[in-house]
Amino acid sequence: MAIILDGKALAKKIRENLKYEVDSLKEKGIYPKLAVIMVGDDSSSKIYVRNKSRACEEIGIAYEEFLLDENIEMKELLELIDNLNNREDVGGILLQSPIPKHLDINEAIKAISPEKDVDGFHPINIGKLVLNQNGYISCTPYGIIRLLEEYNIEIEGKNAVVIGRSNIVGKPMMLSLLNKNATVTICHTKTKNLSEITKNADIIVCAIGHPKYIKDYFVKDGAVVIDVGINRDPETGKITGDVDFEEVSKKASYITPVPGGVGPMTIAMLMVNVVKHYNM
């Protein structure tokens, strides 16, 4: 039976440590602040945004939310971003996705100052990750690396397979593992014989958004399995990952649960990134 990678516990520890850091910043007269922009009222986004505001509150980071009407024009969104870029009191800016289809997400992300891009999605920060330079790393991959390190799981020289190639998870995950000297394969919807590839992996990171897609025959004995997926199980209505935990946990050496694995780490690393702004 696999050892559970307890993201919830590690995230709590990270938040506790950050609280001390934030307290000492405040003693120096520095008051960290995160600004979150949400356009429209996507129900999942509301939950994510609430979790982020709670984490800020717990750590002592000031939090300001901007709820924009779903019919706003691109110009208004860019004006708000510009305003926040110029505000001295704001250290981090986060644009909650998804945003309505008529708005250009790439243009909006590009408008955020790279120094305040705590999500690590700006082309400059993605470029720094490609070059293995110091910048903001997007929170989910950053949290996964931190979790692997916490459990002393070796990355260097390992065969790692990332399933999913999104800009926010799959691609930065691939780069983060490469920067830790893993041999990385990245798979996606056009990949042929996925299970033949994943069967050779020492580390599997799955971020596809299909409940319980990864079965035991995808996984070799002793592999480390990281489940990024957050899906609603069509049968039970419960939150479930991309990995069939019941089957795969019998074969893997380490596995993340859903919930309680990658999700809390993502939020913790967002907090790390906000505090990092004040140490850059």
**Tokens 């999913």, residue located:** 164
Binder of ligand NAD out of 5, 112, 262, 270 (CB under 6 A): 262
Active site residue 133: no
* Annotated catalytic residue 42: no
According to the binding rule CB under 6 A, does residue 257 interact with ligand NAD? no
CA distance 207 to 189: 12
Residues 6+ apart with CB under 8 A from 174: 162, 165, 184, 186
230 binds ligand NAD (CB under 6 A): yes
268 binds ligand NAD (CB under 6 A): no
- Compute the least distance from the CB of residue 79 to ligand NAD, in Å: 27
- Catalytic residue, chosen from 96, 117, 202, 276, is 96
Residue closer to ligand NAD (CB basis): 187 or 272? 187
For the question of residue 96 being annotated catalytic, the response is yes
Count of residues of this chain found to bind ligand NAD when the rule CB under 6 A is applied: 24
Assign 49 to helix, strand or coil: helix
CA–CA distance from 110 to each of 82, 123, 154, 248 (Å)?
A: 11, 7, 35, 39
Interface pattern 161-190 for ligand NAD (x via CB under 6 A): --xxxx-xxx----------------xxx-
Restricting to residues 203-222, name those near ligand NAD by CB under 6 A.
Answer: 207-210
- Residue nearest ligand NAD, Cβ-based: 166
Calculate the CA dihedral of residues 184, 202, 142, 259 and round it to 10 degrees. Answer: 130
Q: How far is the CB of 172 from ligand NAD (least distance, A)?
A: 10
The single-letter DSSP state of residue 203 is E
Query: How far is 207 from 185, CA to CA, in rounded Å?
Result: 14
* Closest of 58, 262, 1 to residue 143, by C-alpha: 262
**Where does this chain bind ligand NAD (CB under 6 A)?**
140, 163-166, 168-170, 187-189, 191, 194, 207-210, 228-231, 262-263, 266
Residues with active-site annotation: 52, 96, 119
